[in-house]
Structure 1
Amino acid sequence: MVSPTTTSTTPSPSGPSTPSAAASALSARPETRAPSPAPSPTLRRGSSLSVPAPWTASSRLTSCSTAQRSRGQSMSETSLKGKESYPMIDSAEAAAPGRAVDDAKICLQGSLDPEKVKGKIVVCLRGTSARVAKGLTVLQAGGAAMVLANDAASGNEIIADAHLLPATHIRHSDGLTLYNYLKSAKSPEGYLEKPETILETKPAPYMAAFSSQGPNPVNPEILKPDITAPGVSVIAAFTRAMAPTELAFDERRVAFTSMSGTSMSCPHVSGLVGLLKALHPDWSPSAIKSAMMTTAIDVDNKGESILNASLAPAGPFAYGAGHVWPSRSMNPGLVYDLGPDHYLDFLCALKYNATVLSMFNGEPYKCPEKAPKIEDLNYPSITVVNLTASGAMVKRTVKNVGSPCKYKAMVRQPAGVHVTVSPDVMEFGKKGEEKTFEVKFETKNAKLAKNYAFGALIWSNGVQFVKSPIVVKTAA
């Protein structure tokens, strides 16, 4: 018996000569429009971001707290007849003549021997090929159903797909148990039936394994991604012009289907941007992004740090400022605002020439005589790279968008680094008032931060908490 628990749920300018077309387009007079939520592509390892520009809102994806869970249940719309047990086989034991066992293990097209899998539940390992494609391989070989077991990289990430045969998806730890059963049992058996939905699963959210992450490969002084939003197994409207698998021979047509990816998390962020703009029509694009980032949450529904798909702590390179919290973002208290001149000064700090600046600005722009620091861009997160023994100082300015209030700074210290804020108390007498503060970084144990250390700066009036991630890397 299979008993899975399945949890559902532009480029920045890269040099001093010519900006990318996407970066130029997305920079177009940012004070005149809402921020541009940009999905971080679904890649996997290391610094894989391709949307590092500070004028975009870069989003990753997390799971939801909804699940399909039961004993031996199918994630597809079909199930095996009744609760009759079917013979079960490891796909690696069913390699077609002339095909490598490694190909059969992950159920690549044409890798399975029909004589060995006909009428059986086939256990395929996730990886290399698409999840639905593995089920197609099993179906074409005559298999009755598929169990898709996560590889180590995919961990506990479970995704609902429009499979072509009865199929279920299990996490890596359950897969190890199942593979041990297949090896030890003389005649392994199992069954699959339709799933049921449960709510408030824990932990949630957690980061999807297949979305790209930081650090920022172009300008490491700017933390990317910015935020994360629901993007795994989201029930979404779907066109009837094609099948949910997008395969030509699949004749199924649906109005809604379960979809996953940053193409799902990005609409959540875009919708929130529209909501905030309607609620606060006088807010700039940067103020809207700041409100989303500084009110985002970096803990799950167990009150612990957001985890990755392998249930290890994820961190700001995975989720940026955290998981969006729409209701809190409507009244953030303070915002980090930016105008077009701030972005142009940022490009000046990157040593772009007058021709390129004109491309961004639409007219000539003269850089300040004293070159600005990249770290001083008034961003809702704070990143310092190559911190030396002499320390570093960055500046930020916040605008009060609430009632008159006093805010006090709290710092979640990064490992190996001491962070102080001056002033650490700010009192605002009216809405729209701005105040500037400095953040000082001192090295205490450089080794602890040589591969990045993380913390946070939180301004609070006792009711609102304006949180900025802190990212620090000491010099080699």
Structure 2
Amino acid sequence: MPPRYLLLPLFFLIFCCTAFSNEQRRVYIVYLGEHKGLKSTQEILENHHSLLLSVKNSEEGSSDSILYSYKNSINGFAALLTEEEANKLSEKEEVVSAFPSEGRWSPHTTRSWEFITLEEGLQLKGGDKDSAPKYGRDVIVGMLDSGIWPESESFNDQGMGPLPKQWKGICQQGDAFDSAHCNKKIIGARYYVKSYEAYYGPLNKTNAYRSPRDNDGHGTHTASTVAGRVVSNVSALGGFASGVAAGGAPLARLAIYKVCWPIPGPNPNIENTCFDADMLAAFDDAIGDGVHVLSVSIGANGEPPKYSNDGIAIGALHAAKREIVVVCSAGNSGPGPATVTNLAPWMITVGASSIDRAFDANVMLGNGVAIKSQTVTPYVLKSLDFYPLIYAGDAVVAGTPSNVSGQCLPNSLDANKVRGKIVVCLRGSGLRVGKGLEVKRAGGAAIILGNAVANGNEIPVDAHVLPGTAVSSDDAVAILKYIATSRTPTAKIGPARTVLDVSPAPIMAAFSSRGPNRIEPNILKPDITAPGLNILAAWSESSAPTKLEDDHRRVKYNLYSGTSMSCPHVSAAAALLRSMHPDWTGAAIRSAVMTTATVENARGGPLTDASGRVAGPMDYGSGHIRPNHASDPGLVYDASYEDYLLFACASIGAQMDPAFPCPNSPPPTYNLNYPSIAVANLNASITIRRTVTNVGGGPAQYRVAVEEPADVSVRVSPKVLKFKKVGQRKSFSVTLRAGGRRGPPSGEHAAGSYTWYDGTHVVRSPIVVSVAAAD
């Protein structure tokens, strides 16, 4: 059975591996809920070994099979078990769940923070951002990812004070990493590889460091996006996106938890995987170490597991109990519906959108038509003259399947047909940078990469290994028509330049995974969107900018795209809010981020997707993040650990904590006090209850405004909320009723919103409704 979860690059990569038979041992997580009482580490180990011994034949077999014994907050262990042994354990009263440790697609800036206007007075074009108050000072952000490149200037600790008193973590030594690589910025680092090695065998040290050091680049990129220091004169690939680089919370501390490792194969830096058991060990340590925020750019591939069988969901639940904010990427499987991952309501799930920056180049066709393209490829054609132009589908070797003939897959191009020519390749299967590598292998002069229709105008830029650029789907069609109607098609590619204030922006990235929520459709996911397209941040100097093994270039900063890049933007915002409001709960921070988001672009029009269609909550959740507004949201929707346990009882019919038995009739899932409302299969009418807390600074009176979904009436009661003081709570109800046509067609979703306002604060919550089919 192949791993379910892996690093989230821009496209999911398909791989397979040998299935385990039922008789073979594999790593299972045996989850027991929460540690009760002050048990010593030795007592915890003895308890876990005793439980194992109940299904093992010997004491030795019990001891040898255990990989991790979770000891801080999470009660459970990871062990090598047969399916029969795991089933026996799952039947025991004290066991919440026993499930295989599977891999995760994971590891899912100069301009991005300036674009979303982080704080009043933020000056990324100059000035000392670190001199501003707060900026995440002494907030500890844990990064579950592929490690870190500690030598990056983004992680210098100049001027930072002593370590926060609550910090209890360590700096774990290993390959090319020792205690000297931690400092007052990177205050801790650990790595977790046991479950990975149980699946793949011993780590190949030529492809990865057995230590917290990042061989991949992904972890370094996300960490610097969250909390990188101010670094001047930064650019990618010799001049693109030049400016001052800084993370969103440059005074926050970083704790590194390396859980993601290369999948053995021809390009090990491309495919990476992260196993549940390793991640759960990292969550457990991070909680014990004293982090405030956890940033997890990792997500599920395929059918999402239910919360009790999901290492990230379990770890995040234990973190939420301690008011640690957990932020996760939504996935890169868009734009199709029901593709979003990380679905638990006790985490913030982040989609990806663009910023107002492009890297424009011109493609001039032989017929005189100029087409705008985008690239950060540092190579240029040797001649300014026109080159012969060919479509890859017309230049493939015999036997290439027709449905992928234009996609420049490895060893698909006929060198006799493409040598010295500009080759038009289409997005689809395979890596974008791999297509350029194939054109180069076959002797092509350059590549023009054409978007698929689903990608529209969204163009992730690439540092191709030869001259090249990318065009929108419409322009790709225009180029192919020119080739088809010309006897001697030709083209030339002009040099690229960085362009700011591009409009419209932001737009939703086509790759960003969409709702609805496949586990619990009465919770809207994703929650929020943030910049994730062409983000510049620090990079591992052990990895090429393309991550291809045949690319020997090395860079200090790199442009990268994915919800993996948008997730740390929200993690940084959470760190800022934690430093400004240390008394807020994790749910309050999530609420502040969501209810202050915008659904408009910089021009005041509605947010759109890459094809120009008006986007909606299934694309962006509550909207595009505005951290400066989130610092003063006015009202917040709070929720407790017990609320989440009740939600799980109603949603999946499972108790997530043995000490908290599910009631016979738990509250319906739509009544979780969430900052958004989603209702699936509305039949006639439903009444939803919510409670808000005043955090706006004193007495206040809020009125409600409603934007009804199509053919669904919305009634909020009461219509006015009066608060006498900060911290006061008020409850209200929202009644939804299907209209005359019973709302939108069955299976489709209609969107609206309700907004509380007091003249200063605007507290907006989206409403998404699907209507039950008529009898």
Aligned to 1:322: 623
Q: CA deviation at 1:101?
A: 4.4
1:93 and 1:101 in contact (8 A); partners too: no
Corresponding position of 2:429:
128
User: Corresponding residue for 1:114?
Assistant: 415
Deviation at 1:468, TM superposition (A): 0.4
Give 1:247-396 correspondences, 5 Å limit: 247-350=548-651, 352-353=653-654, 356-358=656-658, 364-367=659-662, 370-389=665-684, 391-396=685-690
Residues 51 and 58 in structure 1, CA contact (< 8 A), matched pair in contact too: yes
Q: 2:526 touches 2:618 (CA, 8 Å); kept in 1?
A: yes
Match of 2:708 among 405, 409, 413: 413
Aligned positions of 1:36-47 closer than 5 A: 36-44=326-334, 45-47=336-338
2:647–2:666: 8 Å Cα contact kept in structure 1?
no
Is it true that 1:457 corresponds to 2:749 in the alignment? no
- The superposition leaves residues 115-153 of structure 1 with CA deviations (integer Å, 9 ceiling, x where unpaired) of 111111101111111100111111000000000011111
Contact 1:92 1:102 in 2 (8 A): no
Whole-angstrom CA distance in 2 between matches of 1:60 and 1:410:
26
Identity rate of aligned residues, in percent?
41
In the TM superposition, what whole-angstrom CA distance separates every residue of 1:171-225 from its partner, at most 9, and x where no partner exists? 0111111111112222222112331111111111111111211100001110000
Q: Structure 1 residues 447 and 88, CA, compared in 2 at 3 Å: closer, same or farther?
A: same
1:156, CA displacement in angstroms?
Answer: 1.1
Amino acid at match of 2:544: A
Offset at residue 458 of structure 1 (A)? 0.6
**Alignment partner of 1:378: what SS?**
coil
Q: Which moved more, 1:286-295 or 1:238-247?
A: 238-247
Taking a change above 3 Å as real, the CA distance of residues 121 and 353 of structure 1, as seen in their structure-2 partners, is closer
Of structures 1 and 2, the one scoring higher in RCO (CA 8 A, sep 6+) is 1
1:448 counterpart = 2:740: no
Give the equivalent residue in structure 2 for 1:195.
496
Aligned length: 460
Asked if residue 431 in structure 1 is aligned to residue 731 in structure 2, the reply is no
Q: Structure 1 residue 471 and structure 2 residue 763: aligned?
A: no
Q: 1:234 to 1:351 in 2, by over 3 A?
A: closer
Q: Cα deviation per residue 1:157-181 (whole Å; 9 max; x = unaligned)?
A: 1011121111100001111111111
Q: Which whole-Å deviations, capped at 9, do the CAs of 1:342-379 have from their partners, x for residues lacking one?
A: 1122123236455x422xxxxx1254565311111000
How far did residue 229 of structure 1 move?
0.5
* Paired residues for 1:84-123 under 5 Å: 84-123=385-424
Aligned match of 2:340 in 28, 49, 54? 49
Stretch of structure 1 that moved more, 79-88 or 200-209: 79-88
Matched with 1:5 is none
Q: 1:188 to 1:461 in 2, by over 3 A?
A: same
Q: How many angstroms apart in 1 are the aligned matches of 2:319 and 2:465?
A: 47
1:224 to 2:515 alignment = no
- In 2, the alpha carbon distance for the partners of 1:313 and 1:220 equals 22
1:235 to 533, 536, 545: 536
Secondary structure at the aligned position of 2:608 is classed as coil
Could you tell me how far 1:253 is from its partner in structure 2? 0.3
Alpha-carbon distance in 1 for matches of 2:735, 2:743: 19
Query: TM-score w.r.t. structure 1 length?
Result: 0.93
- Unmatched tracts of structure 1, length 5 or more: 1-7, 359-363
Counterpart in 2 of 1:24? 314
- More deviation, 18-27/229-238: 18-27
Alpha-carbon distance between aligned partners in 2 of 1:142 and 1:353, rounded to the nearest angstrom: 58
CA-atom RMSD in angstroms: 1.9
Question: 1:48·1:212 contact (CA, 8 Å) conserved in 2?
Answer: yes
CA contact (8 A) 2:361 2:493 kept: no
Q: Distance in 2 between matches of 1:351 and 1:229?
A: 29
Structure 2: gaps of 5 or more residues: 1-239, 242-298, 364-372
Greater Cα shift, 288-297 or 86-95: 86-95
1:453, CA displacement in angstroms? Answer: 0.7
**Which amino acid letter does the alignment assign opposite residue 52 of structure 1?**
L
Q: What SS does the corresponding residue of 2:744 show, helix, strand or coil?
A: helix
Task: Rate the CA distance shift 1:151–1:370 in 2: closer, same or farther, 3 A.
Answer: closer
Deviation at 1:452, TM superposition (A): 1.3
